Structure 1
Amino acid sequence: MRREELLRHVFDVERAIRWREDPEVLASTLERLFAGEGDFFSIKKKLVEKYGGDPRSLERDPPYPIASLQPGLRRITVIARVASLRRGPDDRYSYGVLEDPTGQVRFVAWGSWPSLRRGGIYRFSNVSVRSYRGAMEVVLGENSTVRPAPPWALGEEAPRPMRKMISSLKPGDVNVEVVGIVASARTRPAGEKIITEGVLADETGKVAFNAWDLELRKGMRVRVVGRVRKGPLLVFDSNGFVSRGTGEPPEIGIHELDGLIGAFVEVEGRVVRILERSGIAFRCPHCNRLLSSGVCPEHGRVEGRPVARLSAVLDDGRASILMVAEGKVVEEAMGLPLRELLEAHASGELHRLLYSRILGRRFGVSGVVRGGRAGPLIRVEGMSPSPVDPEKILRLLP
């Protein structure tokens, strides 16, 4: 194996074991292990486990250390610090020097990259390497991505995180530690990874969160270290997560949803109003957009695909919110399949059915909070009848 290729695997292991071993020692060990039979990734995984590291952070296609770069490489990943940075005229491009423990290299980033800061450590993905005026250069194009990387990715000691209560979190906070309980959560695939979206709560308040490469469940007590984006939205991954058992998750009141835009939530309330646009809607079979009088804004007049649709107001006794549900969610809440709902629509009986089966009843509703012109609304993903619990209702009242 070429020295340049070996370095990629050495630094992949170093990041997973938090740089507990000398790189030269690791290089000799990996070179010996790779000479035998077996999959490189499996060999690295066993070695990381031996050192007490986290094998989940290993990569099958690891980033390139700067010392292993060669002109002609394309669609690769580099983790490095921005040692120097300058902006071109009208912010059309940026250029400077990247560095990691193995060396330095020039770079140019075409287009506007406002997130780049001198001294910052980043993961540069889908970049290429070229020779320019006799020197090697890393090139970022329109398909490249840049994400912040932790200091330990380059073998540096990370600063101690700052402990904060949820009520004091502000967009722009980085390396903050929060201890709380998961009030709501749902996990979904995100490319080759998974992401859990939900709400984290402590005694001072609640905040929306995104957890990468983690499957969290409602009621988990956790300690997390992450950053806060606009929203506010707390973002963290498996490197900044510790589970601390389980507990009783707090209820989420509708009055709290203003501060949880983008979060997956679970709330309870009574349907106090059904809007006229409820019933049967038609979506474009090509792009899934809602049709207006049989016309798609992109594909023109098409034969629409019918879906059951419910627009209603949910009230928990303290506040109310608009909720929008479609498809199977509405069919299950109504207790009727789409075929029967279409028959009721054709006979003019559908709204009577909606009023008799939905209006005035209590439901547990789960979904994502979105911002709307008239305030937040819930895009419903789950909806089921909820038995009346007087104690729960009293807890939500002011």
Structure 2
Amino acid sequence: MDEKIAPLLEELTRALGDLEKTGIRAEFEKLIAFRVPPDVAKESILRKFGGKRKILKVKDLSANIKNFELTGRILDLGEKSIRPQAGAQEKPSRLYTGVLADETGSVLFSSWRELPGSIGDVINIKNAYVRIWQNRIRLSIGEQSPVSKISDSSLPPLSELSASKKKKLIDIGAADFSVDTVACVLKLSYREILVKGRKSRVISGVLADETGRLPFTAWIELPGIDIGGIIRIEGAQVRMFRGMPSVNILSSTKISSIGPDESGKLAFTFESAAKDPVPIKIQEINSRDSMFDVSIAGNLVSVRPGSGIISRCPECSRVIQKGNCRVHGKVEGIWDMRIKAILDDGTGSVSVMFPRELAEIIYGKTLEEAEQLMFSDVSKDAVYEDLRRFLTGRYLAVRGNSSRSEFGISFVAENAWVPEEDLAVRVVDLLRRLGLDEEDGQDKSSQVSGGGIELA
């Protein structure tokens, strides 16, 4: 073997694992055969199969990231046989699944090959990647992911990592598997669903404390628990739905009511937690993977393409293009309207989606009126252009949920309004910054009431 190539293959092996098994060696030799310089070929292989690896903690994991290194302790480990579908030529394989944890959180994992460790052991994984499975992140260990057992580690012991973490609602996220928390019940509803052909009653609602709110689902009865009650939850599982964590109460979860003596020592009451959320900075929205039921305010600096009248599939409600749905093929679409805009408050910006109900309110036109505009104009973008003229630059407050995806942070609005009182304060502040309240002999005291401004 060429002396220049051998060291490069060793580097690739250390970074990417078994080159023969993964086909990387053949790819490398193919580049060499085409007279690609060895160093350039190595960098090309690393970019394609690996790239620059980052060392992450469990709390750093999010959807669709890849090629990172992580060290954790195995909390749970199992295996199951995967049988191929009838007629397939593949042989039965084994899938290893479990829970991996470090001092920042825990995460489900899956591996198609046996791991060099058992429950309680610490392993190091290179070239790992994250996928979404059943609405939560899952650490995937592939054929190109070298795994090694670490004998000495600074990670907390198994007993400590296995214990449920006591957390405030704002701190619960995708890296949590089991949590303890104290919160009050803001909303409560019941519904029946079919589980394996049998009817089952599910309780859902919203929890709140002094830090924020989160949805919850209970698969068991909650006797004595009602709206306004403050409860202690121990051993609840965290599930992800559309990028948002949800507290899942199972048969193994302990639920108890907080009495008056203990509730008096808490930093919140039902009355304080039930107040409408005060607008926060968009910078804070962008710093978190998700936030539930929060408010932000800023200027609409851009109306994005895809706003206006759209057509949806009658079966799955996906947006269709030229009468074709990605899942159901040729369909007769149903008209709908939405607005996708960029909201900026000076600390950051975020993409906000307004569904039809809100789009009609802030646009000032119903879907039917927008259809008339579209059909009366020769341009198919008539509604979009009208939205841009009408909305760009307007100051708006919105309330809803934010979540992070591979495309960044998105905010789905559930309510929107013009914050008149805030607008009045902003105008007074602008006058002050312009020096209009500092003229000699003139009283420029400002009175703000009812959203209006009166300069005396």
Rg larger in 1 or in 2? 2
TM-score normalized by the length of structure 1: 0.48
